[in-house]
Amino acid sequence: MFINKKIMLLMLLFISIPYYSFGQVQPTSLLTEYIKTGKEFLSKNEYNKAILNFKKVVQINPNEVQAYLFLGFSYESLNQFKDAEINFEIAKNLFQKQGNSLDVQRTEQMLKELPQISFNQNAIQINANDEKAYVNLGEAYILSYQYQKAVLYFKKAIQLDHKDINSYLGLGMADISLKNFKEAGYFFQQAIQLNSQNIIAYSGLGISYDGLHQYKKAILCFEKIKQINPNFGMAYNLLGLTYKFLNQSERAKTNFEKAKELFKNQGDLIDSQKVEQLIKVSGF
């Protein structure tokens, strides 16, 4: 069963980002309020009102990267792709200055998606049964944090091809982001039925179990990944986090150390440093 490289990248970014939020500078209360209001308008599809709020943020703080991201999403939703591209480029440059490689990758992928959104929307207008176009749009909306839109497109893709593993993986990612952990687990299980060796599906299923506080089941998922690929550093990182939730400090530390070692040996110095930071924050 073919899994496209974009889904693989999406999931690797997805499972990394939530656990590496330590040490980020929090915006002032006024900036927080503008961002919150802008995101509310964005979720209601009131894009022009959202843009006004995010522009107020950058007027106060020109280095507030979140504002540029959400400006990009807002313009993208209005099909104003040039304006979206400008704001994503600014966000990418700010992430690069911060040394935030994961968000640089994600933003680069957003920029690659922009020309494809219009193309795939047109493809669906020409052929409403173009399953690939629905998958592509679902992936694009996951990247831009518009998870409910992503769900709609992935579900349409599954209606057209119920054996499309990429749609199940995409639905799982979207539902985790929406904190629908039970539904996410179901979709990752469907993906596993299609490919029992898929480490991305096991990663998502394990995270779903973590979200449901079913930590023993989560551990089984991450241990399964180690059986499939003993050198997949993120499996050890996820195990470390799960043991941390269980207050099993020694096991958590052992897995974090293994993750750090694997990342370093594979030349992934950024993730190695982030795991080291996680160990320090955890007080081991």
Place of tokens 């400006």: 71
- Element containing residue 274 per DSSP (H, E): helix 269-282
Task: Look at residue 129 and tell me if it is in a domain.
Answer: yes
Q: What confidence score (pLDDT) does residue 27 get? A: 45
Q: What confidence score (pLDDT) does residue 11 get? A: 57
pLDDT, greater one: 267 or 211: 211
Q: What is the sign of the dihedral through the CA atoms of 207, 212, 213 and 219?
A: negative
Task: Look at residue 84 and tell me if it is in a domain.
Answer: yes
Task: Look at residue 91 and tell me if it is in a domain.
Answer: yes
Inform me whether the pLDDT recorded for 176 exceeds 50: yes
Q: What confidence score (pLDDT) does residue 7 get? A: 52
- Residue whose C-alpha is closest to residue 92's, from 77, 75, 80, 109: 109
Q: Report which DSSP code applies to 19.
A: G
- Residue whose C-alpha is closest to residue 107's, from 134, 138, 70, 133: 70
Mean pLDDT of 3-31: 49
Domain of 65?
5-178
Q: What confidence score (pLDDT) does residue 56 get? A: 94
* Burial (CB count within 10 angstroms: exposed 0-12, middle 13-18, buried 19+), residue 257: middle
The overall average pLDDT reported for the chain is 85
In tens, the pLDDT along 230-280 reads 999 989 999 999 999 999 999 999 999 999 999 888 887 777 887 888 888
In tens, the pLDDT along 23-61 reads 343 445 788 899 889 988 887 879 999 999 999 999 999
- Whole-angstrom distance, CA of residue 39 vs CA of residue 67: 10
- Lowest-pLDDT range of 15-29, 177-191, 218-232, 245-259: 15-29
> Residue 20 belongs to a domain with what CATH number?
1.25.40.10
pLDDT, greater one: 22 or 16: 16
Q: Report which DSSP code applies to 28.
A: P
Q: How far from each other are the two terminal CA atoms of the chain, in whole angstroms?
A: 41
- Whole-angstrom distance, CA of residue 49 vs CA of residue 73: 13
Structure tokens at 161: 């091809």
Q: What confidence score (pLDDT) does residue 236 get? A: 93
- Lowest-pLDDT range of 18-27, 48-57, 149-158, 205-214: 18-27
Task: Look at residue 219 and tell me if it is in a domain.
Answer: no
Q: Is 214 helix (H, G, I), strand (E, B) or coil?
A: coil
Instruction: For residue 110, name the pLDDT band (cuts at 50, 70, 90).
Output: confident
Q: What confidence score (pLDDT) does residue 12 get? A: 52
Question: What are the two backbone dihedrals, phi and then psi, of residue 140, each rounded to the nearest 5 degrees?
Answer: -60, -40
Count of beta carbons in the 10 Å neighbourhood of residue 227: 11
Inform me whether the pLDDT recorded for 114 exceeds 50: yes
Task: Look at residue 169 and tell me if it is in a domain.
Answer: yes
The number of folded domains in the chain is 1
Task: Look at residue 278 and tell me if it is in a domain.
Answer: no
Task: Look at residue 204 and tell me if it is in a domain.
Answer: no
Q: What confidence score (pLDDT) does residue 51 get? A: 95
Give me the amino acid identity at 209.
Y
Inform me whether the pLDDT recorded for 161 exceeds 50: yes
Q: What confidence score (pLDDT) does residue 197 get? A: 94
Task: Look at residue 245 and tell me if it is in a domain.
Answer: no
Inform me whether the pLDDT recorded for 183 exceeds 50: yes
Q: What confidence score (pLDDT) does residue 83 get? A: 94
Mean pLDDT of 87-100: 89
Place of tokens 């985790």: 176
Count of beta carbons in the 10 Å neighbourhood of residue 211: 17
Cβ 246 vs Cβ 262: under 8 Å: no
